[in-house]
Amino acid sequence: MTQELFDIDGKVALVTGGSRGIGKMIAAGFVKSGVKTYISSRKVEACNETAEELSEFGTCISLPFDLSTEANCKALAEAVGLHEDSLDILVNNAGATWGAPIETFDDAAWDRVLSLNVKSVFHLTKFLIPLLTKSATLESPSRVINIGSIDGIQVPVLETYSYSASKAAVHQLTKHLARKLAPFVTVNAIAPGPFESKMMHATLEAFGKQIAEMAPMKRIGRPSDMAATAIFLASQGASYITGAILPVDGGIATLK
């Protein structure tokens, strides 16, 4: 019974930003669990290399796209549709950050971050609704998993104004889409804390020990923590959960 609740073998998933960091952690967890996994990222070579690496454990296919425009979100959805009649899991992970003093935080610092972190989540989900609903049922809905951040829950230390605002927007958009797409698609968000990734590398290199010591769980997140959370949200065990924002941060969000 327990195994059936969390078995995702045979499903089909798309993970954006899947070539590195949190996206790669989730994609690896899916592939190793028997999920046919498509990954997308802006950098073609990195996307292809990660797909080749993960293909040692199962099926992983590279579909590189820059998702900062509505047109490219549509193009990715169409590319998935050329390969698959339906889609069980969409992970909206592609994202960007920007840090600068408030005095120099200009339009460029907002436009790139909001376009990728918020608008692409909406547009890609919108264009994939036909595939997400094709095989979905009341008992086994398809899943959308958005990647937010604890920076969208609490105020970050760094001057990343557009990033924290974008992640708060992702959390609210998650709830809005959850209501709209029910009952055949669940929409939930993971709000990660500190995990080793390119985006977090400089911060963890400078303050990793202090962050780990501050966290109630006294460590930085591991790839298995992120993979397990995504697998749970994609499984039958989470079929009655929608519109939830799940912090995966070792308890850091409780300190706000």
Tens-level pLDDT at each residue, the chain (256 residues): 678 899 999 999 999 999 999 999 999 999 999 999 999 999 999 999 999 999 999 999 999 999 999 999 999 999 999 999 999 999 999 999 999 999 999 999 999 999 999 999 999 999 999 999 999 999 999 999 999 999 999 998 889 999 999 999 999 999 999 999 999 999 999 999 988 876 666 677 766 788 888 889 999 899 999 999 999 999 999 999 999 999 999 998 888 6
Helix (H) or strand (E) holding 166: helix 161-181
Catalytic residue numbers, as ranges: 163
Radius of gyration of the chain (CA): 17
Q: Give the chain's domain count.
A: 1
pTM for the whole structure: 0.95
pLDDT given at position 59: 98
Can you tell me the distance from the alpha carbon of 76 to that of 101, in angstroms, rounded to the nearest whole number? 35
pLDDT given at position 214: 85
Give 227's contacts (C-beta < 8 A, 6+ positions apart). Answer: 25, 26, 28, 29, 30
Pairing of strands 142-147, 36-40: unpaired
Helix (H) or strand (E) holding 247: strand 245-248
Residue 248's domain is classified under what CATH number?
3.40.50.720
Three-state secondary structure call for residue 9: coil
pLDDT given at position 202: 66
Q: Hunting for tokens 């899947």 — which residue is that? A: 18
Which domain range does residue 119 map to? 2-255
